[in-house]
Structure 1
Amino acid sequence: MTHNSHSGSCQGACCLKIQDLSVTFGTDAVLEHVNLHMHCGQIVALIGPNGAGKSTLIRAILGERPYTGTITFSPAGGAPEKLRIGYVPQSPGFDPGDPISVLDLFACCLSRRPAFLPVGKAFRQRVLSCLARVHGEALLNKRVGTLSGGEVQRVLLALALEPMPHMLILDEPLSGVDVEGMTLLMDMLDEIRKTYDLSILMTTHDFSLLEKYCDQVVLIQHQVVAQGAPKEVLSSPEFARVFHMGGSI
């Protein structure tokens, strides 16, 4: 399944425009003069070697890192009263002995309720509805420490979608997930993008599914080295140079 890239004016979900963005830590430049335009309804992958600045760019977009330059959001239908960005961090790696259930985790995150207090029927149904978005209803009463990598990502994704955001950002969602789990997760992201008209930005070190699911790939090594359609970027001399492959692939 391949997707047509959106072009021209922004339609549907939130659009993101980054202009001349730079981030420094002390005297070290982590990102320099980054320019990126993400069209509405796209799935865009940020790729690059470790330390290239991918997670730093994510944190700048989220407002967690100071930067120079501009980051502009342009949701369809005019600016909302408050822009909502759903964020899925890198998997936290729950303790296998943790007694907290998925229901307890939702209660702590969505209602600030201590995990040891019971939840009502209405809240339980709300959590089931959240999990249904990621086909995860069966996870409701599972202990978080027993979840597989793919199940953890589904739970975190369900949390990020409540309330429904204008844009979804995921940091290494495929890390620690097996091949079957990666395909299932990307299928879900594609379904969510279409159903809720979301723009999705993700970082990844796995390139095997980019051409099938992503509209655009952005290669970063402290600056934007290449960007465009997945096949174009993955076969570029810039990609081969950054990953020391000695030629195009």
Structure 2
Amino acid sequence: MHKIKKPCGFHCIKMKDIGVSFGDQVVLEHINLHIHCGSLTALIGRNGAGKSTLLKAILGDIPHTGSITFSDTENGKMKKMKIGYVPQSLNLEPNTPMNVYDLITSFRYDYPVFLKNKKLYQEIKEALAEFEADHLIDQPIGKLSGGELQRVLLSLAVMDEPNLLLLDEPVSGIDKNGMDLFYEKMDYLRKNYDMAIIIISHDLDYVAKYADKVVLIDKTVTADGNPKEVYESQAFHRVFGDATYAYGNNVGHVRKVEAKEAPYEAGYKGKKEEA
């Protein structure tokens, strides 16, 4: 079971002048962000604005210019950043024979999945229990609902207690109860794990309620700050139009609105279209 480790406030992720291009197409340019542990940062913006591309750059899945560093300002050391990642979706066949235990064992451990290990089984079950998914340990992956799979992937992503957790629209297509549970878990993670969380989201009301920092992306950073600051910016209204919202004690609610279509494509061959 995870032992609570309050965020120290010293660890940070720095992105300096990040740029991504595919051929002649510039997808991202001049991205500069500074994110501390114990915080939830939401990336918002129109479809095709470069949000998922930024996560892929952080993961090292695509080449980029600029630098991404993890620093410990308490003692000045630089160390390798541990990153957890939950994708928007996984393409799984309904008849996939692998169950949840097999999936996590194959990713997390150097141990043959066909040999059941009681110690590993219990460790995985405890990790799943943090996200109310321990009852799914023997379930076939292809039979899980979207919300169930999301909880399994979250359990896997945080088992190594990463310094940075990246979430690419992980609640797409999930009902309100599932959304409530998800964001409550994100609130729990940032309070009880020494990590920074970056989430791509189109759910502006949840972002307003839970995010510490909001970054509006449109090839570059067009607005960033707390939800109130970003939602009241001209850049926000150019993308989302006239959203209505009201804040009390810096916790807000915003009417859900759809991002306008992007004037350009940000996808590239062999990869899923940019979110």
Q: TM-score range by the shorter chain?
A: 0.7 to 0.9
Alpha-carbon separation, structure 2, partners of 1:121 and 1:24? 48
| Aligned mates of 1:139, 1:14 — CA distance in 2 | 34
Match of 1:82?
A: 80
Q: 1:177 to 1:164 in 2, by over 3 A?
A: same
Contact kept in structure 2, 1:217 and 1:229, CA below 8 Å: yes
Matching residue of 1:227: 224
In the alignment, the residues of structure 2 paired with residue 166 and residue 208 of structure 1 have an alpha-carbon distance, to the nearest angstrom, of 26
Cross-structure match for 2:103: 105
Q: TM-score, normalised by structure 1?
A: 0.88
**Secondary structure of the structure 1 residue equivalent to 2:197:** strand
How do residues 135-154 of structure 1 correspond to structure 2 at under 5 angstroms? 135-154=132-151
**1:55-134 residue pairs with structure 2 within 5 A?**
55-75=52-72, 77-78=74-75, 79=77, 81-113=79-111, 115=113, 117-134=114-131
RMSD: 2.0
Of 60-69 and 215-224, more deviation after overlay is shown by 60-69
Q: What CA distance in whole angstroms lies between the structure 1 residues aligned with 2:80 and 2:233?
A: 39
Amino acid at match of 1:210: V
What residue is the counterpart of 1:202 in the other structure? 199
CA positional deviation for 1:80: 6.4
Q: Which runs of 4+ in 1 moved over 4 A?
A: 112-115
| In structure 1, distance between residues paired with 2:223 and 2:69 | 21
Q: Partner letter of residue 101 of structure 2?
A: L
1:13/1:199 contact within 8 Å kept: no
Structure 1 residue runs of 5 or longer lacking an equivalent are: 1-9
Q: Summarize the Cα distance change of 1:13–1:149 in structure 2 as closer, same or farther, 3 Å threshold.
A: farther
Contact 1:12 1:75 in 2 (8 A): no
TM-score (norm 2): 0.80
Structure 2 counterpart SS, 1:208: helix
Q: Counterpart of 1:119 in 2: which secondary structure?
A: coil
| SS in structure 2 of the partner of residue 209 of structure 1 | helix
Kindly provide the amino acid, as one letter, of the partner of residue 237 in structure 1: Q
Q: Of the candidates 148, 162, 167, which is equivalent to residue 165 of structure 1?
A: 162
The alpha-carbon deviation at position 40 of structure 1 amounts to 2.5
* SS of residue in 2 equivalent to 1:164: coil
| C-alpha contact (below 8 Å) 1:166/1:198 kept by paired residues | yes
Q: Relative to 1, partners in 2 of residues 1:80 and 1:20: Cα closer, same or farther, differing over 3 Å?
A: closer
Q: How many pairs align?
A: 237
Please say if residues 10 and 74 of structure 2, whose CA atoms lie closer than 8 Å, have aligned partners that are also in contact.
Answer: no
Give distance in 2, aligned partners of 1:35 and 1:182.
29
Provide the rounded CA distance (Å) in 1 between the counterparts of 2:81 and 2:236: 34
Identity %: 47
Stretches of structure 2 that go unaligned for 5 or more consecutive residues are 1-6, 245-275
How far did 1:152 drift? Answer: 0.9
Task: Answer whether contact 1:235 1:248 (CA < 8 A) is retained.
Answer: no
Change (3 A) 1:205 1:70: same
Q: State the shift of 1:36 in Å.
A: 1.3
Is 1:190 the counterpart of 2:187? The answer is yes
